[in-house]
Amino acid sequence: MNRKILALAFAAGALAALGQAPFSLWPATLLGLAVLAFLHHRSTTARRAAWSGWFGGLGYFVVSLNWIIEPFLVDAASTGWMAPFALVGLAGGLALFWALAAYLARRSGAGLWRWALLMGLAGLARSYLFTGFPWALPGYAWTETPVAQSVAWIGPHGLNTLTMVFAAALATAALLFQTSASARRRAALMLAAPLAGIALLWGFGLQRLAQPLPEATGVTVRLLQPNAAQEQKWDPDYMPVFFNRLLDFTAAPALDGAPRPDLIIWPETSVPAYLEFPGETLNRVEAAAAGVPVVLGIQRYDEGRAYNSMAVLGGNQDGSADGSNGSIADTGSIGINASPVTDVYDKAHLVPFGEYLPFPELLARIGLSAFTAQKGYGFTPGPGPRLLDLGAAGKVMPLICYEAIFPQDLRGTERPDWILQITNDAWFGNGAGPLQHVAQAKMRAIEQGLPFLRAANTGVSTVIDARGQSLVALPLNTQGWVDATLPGALPVTLYSRTGDMPLTALLLLLALISLRWRRQKTVDA
């Protein structure tokens, strides 16, 4: 295999990654993918196409997921040496999806539209297989543009596949320009097609953004951000500092004489105690809140199992205890006696090697247990998606950190009034990781047509409206709190009704038709 071609594929993938936050350069994504499509067409065998696809994916994921080294640098003296291996290993593994797509596309023919469709399927596959990892989909390059509004209809994978189609059309135009003069006229039409498609989506997005939003709910929510660096978060000397900081933010009067908030939200694992053995921590939170309900992140321990949880102090603001949607009306059922806790959600979609280890005893011997919040064994997953009833604040879909990257996890319950994510993005460092996490939250808001609120330990804590626009925010690496009115929800979107099944079925059908057509053409020849 020509090393220059592989180097070019790697560079093209790296260029395509610049569409992800913090750069958000969507033209770079289109250009990089178009170069990869061009190289795919030039590959003379399926094996060479696979290598080109793998190196392109390697370049893409090395750049877009560079933040993955940050957890290894929290205790750099012990685990820093693993960082480059983790980055290259993860990037190389994810690049296999691109390699397989390129291989199958080349085996079924030279048409670049097959490459685009199979690359779309590759994005779907990595979002579901092996617990899934849909981070940094190329389609997220459109997050900060009006084009992102299309995910309310076609979802993130529909936009991702369209991005591949646009790139394939650009590559086809470049190939036609290299042939005869008559072909160049076709090339001009081919070049105009993706530009027209982008313009159409852009115009549609602008029109949707120009429509009036539904009336705000009138509920005021306070988001807290203590700014606890990961290397200090569980340090006994610093834990009281961050906890007292959150108490001060909770008790702070509203600005400009405004009334106290109706709901206060703490970030993930922000309480330095187990839920079942809280000591005075929960009583202090309740005292600081002075009657205002609080949602907070806390770990809990039950029958030898640890859980990463979201607890509600004060519960239903009308005083009722509703057990619908799996709510825990009797807190004694989880071993809490005389507690202000009225409901608990346990994180269901855990981070592999971050919150649980598949072979804990074996991996602990080489030091990997250091990356789980519970050394050696990690957390136990909760039963799955459900709603929390917050009374006057409505019914909320709870998400803890990593769960916000999975659009499929926001389905399977009745429609909530809004979405809440508590998270600790300190693990991701100060660069691309936290900003990419926020970008995905914006996509979830658009997909569902629901406001999305996130309270993050080190940022970005923000209120996102139902069209994915951030209304107020606390930036990275700052401490503080912000009060904001909870935005209203839009009508149910098409994507929230259908999910990814229609697109998956369509792409599989087109792939099968393509393969059958290729075989029939070979027989006829």
Taking only the tens place, the pLDDT of each residue in 432-480 is 999 999 999 999 999 999 999 999 999 999 999 999 999 999 999 999 9
Q: Cβ contacts of residue 350 below 8 Å, gap of 6+?
A: 308, 356, 378, 379, 381, 402
Residue 336, sorted as left (phi over 0), alpha (psi -120 to 50) or beta, turns out to be beta
Average model confidence (pLDDT) across the chain: 90
**pTM tops 0.75, yes or no:** yes
> What amino acid occupies position 56?
G
Return the percent helix, strand and coil in the chain, to nearest 5: 55, 15, 30
Q: What is the pLDDT of residue 360?
A: 56
Q: Report how far apart, in Å, the C-alpha atoms of 338 and of each of 267, 277, 282, 286 are.
A: 24, 12, 11, 13
pLDDT digits (tens, 9 = 90+) for 145-158: 999 999 999 999 99
Q: Tell me how far apart the alpha carbons of residues 419 and 412 are, in angstroms, rounded to a whole number.
A: 14
Please tell me which residue in 233, 347, 395, 442 is annotated as part of the active site.
347
Residue with token string 């503080």: 480
**Is-catalytic flag, 268?**
yes
Query: Which residue is listed with tokens 């280890």?
Result: 357
- pLDDT band for position 317 (50/70/90)? very low
DSSP letters, 109-135, are -S-HHHHHHHHHHHHHHHHHGGG---T
Q: What token pair was written down for 46?
A: 């399926």
Q: Which residues contact 120 (CB under 8 A, 6 or more apart)?
A: 157, 160, 161, 164, 165, 503, 507
Q: Which two tokens stand for residue 431?
A: 């660069």
Q: What is the pLDDT of residue 185?
A: 78
Verify whether residue 347 is a known catalytic residue: yes
pLDDT tens-digit series, residues 244-281: 999 999 999 998 888 899 999 999 999 999 999 999 99
Helix axis angle, 3-16 to 46-64, nearest 10°: 40
Domains contained in the chain, CATH given? 3-211+499-524 (no CATH), 220-348+387-489 (3.60.110.10), 350-383 (no CATH)
pLDDT exceeds 80 at position 223? yes
Per the model's pLDDT, the better-predicted residue between 371 and 503 turns out to be 503
> Over the stretch 86-106, which tens digit does the pLDDT of each residue have?
999 999 999 999 999 999 999
Q: How confident is the model over 344-373, as a mean pLDDT?
A: 71
- Residues 186-201: pLDDT tens digits? 888 889 999 999 999 9
Active-site residue, selected from the candidate residues 401, 403, 442, 447 = 401
Contact at 8 Å (CB) between 309 and 384? Answer: no
